[in-house]
Amino acid sequence: MEKPTAPEKAFFILNPKSGVRNNISVPDLIAQHLDTSRWTPELVFTQYAGHAPDLARQAAEDGARLVVAVGGDGTVNEVARGLKGTSAALGILPKGSGNGLARHLGIPLALPQALALLNRPTFHRIDSCAINGHPFFCTAGIGFDGLVSSVFAKSTKRGLSSYVQLVVREFRSFKAQEATVSINGRSLSSEFFVVAFANASQYGNNAYIAPMANIQDGLMDVCLIRHVGVAEAIQLGYGLMTKQIAHSSLAEFHTCATVRVQSEEPQYFHADGEFIGQATEFEVQLFPESLEVIASLGAKA
């Protein structure tokens, strides 16, 4: 892509508490690696949870062409929320423990290489979704997914090993709940271990809940997993990490633009890994091409 005649505004939103690599000085890396003939950078740190959407929205209103989320999936979600419906594009410097959207978009996890991608930007439009009005750009889920997100939110430990330990511990006591999924004119009732909604292919850490998901096709991939025992859970874990879940008899997949779920008992749910709360009714919607991003996307996004 040709450079504009004058540098354009690039607004970097940094979460000082994100991820497991806080010893890295992101401002120094930006100063060293960002092409200032392409971008004029401005940096700001978030001060509280929920601050980034306002910062991103204001940056877009102030004329920023690019707004970069520096942090993990939670920070990326917040910045992206603020950019929907604006003329600014989302950039990502992944500094979290999972980095689900960054991985799907082909953004390097090494920050100098991620900055190099911003210096030679390729812009793409991607879909976004919402669960009960809460936007998500990667995945959302009901059931065991949601329970794990609620416990993980209270944990002071991050990283894949901590997450796996938490999953194993919570699995022992989790009971699948009866629910009805209304999708493509059908009603599917069962005790569901997980009902997952995938705009992108993975949760993060290369755990693929929907390997076939395309973030630009106007459809979300819905993964239904019914009650499972220990042996099935091990099989599912292997399938997540090897992209084989799409071929597992334990998982049922559908594609749609809207889906509703109803249950008798309140169910935990999350959006992009962030615990939202509990509910008995859920409406999930997809919004096609609703966000512009800088990414490295192949033929299948």
% of the chain beyond a pLDDT of 70: 93
DSSP β-ladder status, 8-14 and 39-45: parallel
134-288 fold: Tumour Suppressor Smad4 (2.60.200)
| Residue-wise pLDDT tens digits, 111-162 | 999 999 999 999 999 999 999 999 999 999 999 999 988 887 776 666 667 7
8-121: what CATH class? alpha beta
Tell me how many helices (H) and strands (E) the chain has.
Answer: 8, 13
Calculate ∠ Cα 183-186-189, nearest 5°: 90
Q: What is the token pair recorded at 8?
A: 């354009």
Q: Check pLDDT > 50 for residue 299.
A: no
List the domain boundaries for the chain: 8-121, 134-288
Dist CA 112 CA 34 (whole Å): 9
State the virtual CA torsion across 250, 246, 127, 191 in degrees, nearest 10: 0
So what's the pLDDT on residue 287? 98
So what's the pLDDT on residue 15? 85
Q: Check pLDDT > 70 for residue 61.
A: yes
CB 79 within 8 A of CB 54: no
pLDDT band at 300 (very low <50, low <70, confident <90, very high): very low
Dist CA 158 CA 140 (whole Å): 19
- Can you tell me whether residue 298 is helix, strand or coil? coil
% of the chain beyond a pLDDT of 90: 74
> For the purposes of burial, counting CB atoms within 10 Å of the CB of 93, is it exposed (0-12), middle (13-18) or buried (19 or more)?
buried
Mean pLDDT for 7-19 is 87
CB 187 within 8 A of CB 181: yes
Give per-residue burial for 191-213: e unless 16+ CB within 10 Å, then b: ebbbbbbbbbbbbbbbbbbbbeb
For all residues of the chain together, what is the average pLDDT? 91
- Can you tell me whether residue 74 is helix, strand or coil? helix
Stated pTM of the model: 0.92
pLDDT band at 171 (very low <50, low <70, confident <90, very high): confident
So what's the pLDDT on residue 77? 97
| Residue-wise pLDDT tens digits, 233-254 | 888 888 989 999 988 999 999 9
So what's the pLDDT on residue 262? 98
| Residue-wise pLDDT tens digits, 250-277 | 999 999 999 999 999 999 999 999 999 9
Half-sphere exposure of 220 (CA within 13 A, CB side): 31
DSSP 247: G
Dist CA 12 CA 44 (whole Å): 6
